[in-house]
Chains A and B, each alone.
Chain A
């Protein structure tokens, strides 16, 4: 089967998300669709899957024009989709999730759950996915949930399988397993569209690569005669620095001292378990780990968003364990939170207002109950220029900015003050390659200016290239403290999965 999109254009009020896109994929091959966030990848896939109607252009299946007005049509035509956010009902079993929509039935519309179990086992065995049909989704790890999604798609006999950012939530070893699954799908005569913004993955698994920028296909490449930097240049439209440019760290005295910190959830689960480490002036300490191993809670405890059950946190000699977030700010801590839109910004407020959120009570910006908006506006203009925030007017709400520019607003607000320690959680999640380069450069600049920096990221590449020292978290504990130049990605991956590389000392 050959599936083709011709001249697809999709407009939203004020934006052209897809602009005359052409692409094709056949069974037996892997097409990687690569592009920055906001390049139009997701929109294109939603058109392909019948969730959006294209304004112009046509879909051809084996040369015949087709119309999808709902996902049901796309499924019927042999298109399957594994969404970035899994489409699984957490309280139901694997079998129930898999048959939803194509339920095997007995008399009076009764559900034949035994048949459903058998179907799951059959597909799962065929591709050695090792799924238990009776397991409840919320008890499963992310990697297993993804396999449930794959079974769902295969059960509907999809000829072309679309994976939307499938590796974002996987550990390095799960990613390798995932690539094996993709290869076995292709070997079984199916076609795969693999959407990603990770260059390495596209190069390692795809037969062909299409690059999308600002809604247009700007290039096509074959992995064997192209390089990461060439594709990155196509994605961004200019040459990009892929490795972080920094000198050897010169660590000095300790700035942040975390001692035996334990964080407990209200239901009694221990999420951060007796963690001890320090961050020194002039170094970047990176915390690696698969999402959900206590990094979020650790950062929240340091930033004052949640109280540590025991242990102490000392910033520059002052015990801040029980201080409020504002007291921590005033003691010189900057916090770039993990969830940009929920914790970092008030998206309905203007860029000016967001930029003074941590300093509105300073005498510089207010006197008594009166805000000095003229000062705030002047300052905002300076910051917009200094931090390269792309906006026409700082009085616009922050929600009008792209993800990368929203992140720059937060970085500008947090780092433009007199600070001693910067804590950055997932500083580049979901932002474009160009902005990543910029944010990384800012973080290195802070280090070189004599601040202590703590970076938490689930992107292993980011931690490895940015940090001078890497801590690995697993199930709430720090299981490794290593020099990134002396260990391999694979070894860190093993630590992240809770095991230990052979030959390593405890």
Chain B
């Protein structure tokens, strides 16, 4: 397009621009009415001994007024190409104001919270990559949750009985096994993919709950007791102030998830395998008539998705908690699917989505320590509320792979 003046916008874009403007007004109202209620300075620790402080009340007033101005600009004129940048900055500032309000008169480890965010994003990211691999190949995979949960259970047992490596491997194999069920049922027997996914989720929940009660609780010390992996400091990189501690003083699971995102991106967009995978997810018959074996590739990609989700499941016992508890995943697999949509079926986008959801969880854990008056039940809801708001409000209509959910039959 070579339009030099006046960008053509559709009715839908206009509607979205208006609702973003109204969102700014709502945020401004919250700043002015709520965040100015608590006096005192909030301390944000950003290193071993360094911290910065924000005056909760003053910051709330200032940001509230700025947001009103931003809203006026959005509603009257719009920001054109900058509108996403403005949205991101406003959201970040609002978030800081919220933290300042919550921690007014106290201090907390800001860097620790972000470090925790990155760690907690692992299962969501890996689950999302599993989802992307499946849906890009044209198979809807809502059983990520079941794969995470089952892999968490088996890897806990495997790691308790042998070592962490074998435990992780057992988790991977569990993910692959469940993916194989999904693949055979949906590809070979053409069962509705969503129904199979549901069945796998409930199967995983039921079996792991049973194992947890009947096997793991009585044999707590031998079968469900392990020492999780320790963080690995990457020399030099970990010494970068602030960033270093967040990104490069983490467990191997975190590094694996970064590598998985990079590999998945490169694979999908820069390789022969990726071209074929995207083709069979969009228009399988086109690939089929060119001699690509559509269903074989779907089998392979689903098994790969199961393996990646298996690593994500192993994160709970081996990466952080040190044991398996009943329903330990608690819906993270579904949040991973939200991250897939958030990221528009792109691995890097899904990573961003996973970080947003993990952040809301990390914040909840920190805020719980302050006396903010927010009931803890509401804080526990936070990740799910964020999911709904983000997916419904900000993503808008995004385009799923066209053939997702459709059976492919050779003629």
Where the two chains meet, the residues of A that have a C-beta atom closer than 8 Å to any C-beta of B are 46, 49, 51-52, 70-72, 75, 81, 83, 87-92, 96-97, 99-103, 105, 108-111, 152, 266-268
Contact = CB atoms under 8 A, between A and B. Distances in A.
Given A72-B291, A88-B283, 12 more contacts: A51-B410, A71-B289, A81-B289, A87-B289, A90-B283, A90-B402, A100-B275, A102-B290, A103-B272, A111-B274, A266-B12, A268-B11
A102 to B, nearest CB: 8
Contacts of A103: 272, 275-276
B292 interface: yes
A100 B290 contact: yes
A111 B275 contact: yes
Contacts of B12: 266-268
B273 A87 contact: no
Nearest to B282: A89
A267 B10 contact: yes
28 contacts: A49-B289, A52-B411, A72-B291, A75-B290, A81-B289, A87-B285, A87-B286, A87-B289, A88-B283, A88-B286, A90-B283, A91-B399, A92-B282, A96-B275, A99-B275, A100-B290, A101-B276, A102-B290, A103-B275, A105-B272, A109-B272, A110-B270, A110-B271, A110-B272, A111-B270, A267-B11, A268-B11, A268-B12
A91 B411 CA distance: 24
- Is chain A's interface secondary structure helix, strand, loop, or mixed overall? loop
Given A100-B286, A101-B287, A267-B10, A89 B273 contact: no
Contacts of B275: 92, 96, 99-100, 103, 111
Interface residues of B, number: 28
A109 B291 contact: no
Interface in B293-346: 293
B279 A89 contact: yes
Contacts of B286: 87-89, 97, 100
A389 B207 CA distance: 58
B40 interface: no
A91 B292 CA distance: 18
B288 interface: yes
B278 interface: yes
Contacts, number: 85
A77 B266 CA distance: 34
Of the listed residues B275, B279, B283, B290, the one surrounded by the most CB atoms of chain A closer than 10 A to its CB is: B290
B56 to A, nearest CB: 44
Given A91-B282, A97-B286, A111-B275, A268 B10 contact: yes
Interface in B20-73: none
B11 to A, nearest CB: 5
Contacts of B282: 89-92
Contacts of A83: 289
Contacts of B287: 89, 100-101
A268 B283 CA distance: 27
Contacts of B10: 267-268
A149 B156 CA distance: 53
Interface in B118-175: none
Interface string B3-19: 00000001110000000
Closest 7 CB pairs of A and B: A72-B291, A101-B290, A87-B286, A268-B10, A103-B272, A51-B411, A89-B283
Contacts of A89: 278-279, 282-283, 286-287
Contacts of B273: 109
Nearest to B286: A87
Nearest to A76: B291
Nearest to B272: A103
A52 B270 CA distance: 33
Contacts of A100: 275-276, 279, 286-287, 290, 292
Contacts of A72: 291
Nearest to B403: A89
Given A92-B282, A268-B11, A71 B290 contact: yes
Given A71-B291, A89-B283, A267-B11, A46 B272 contact: no
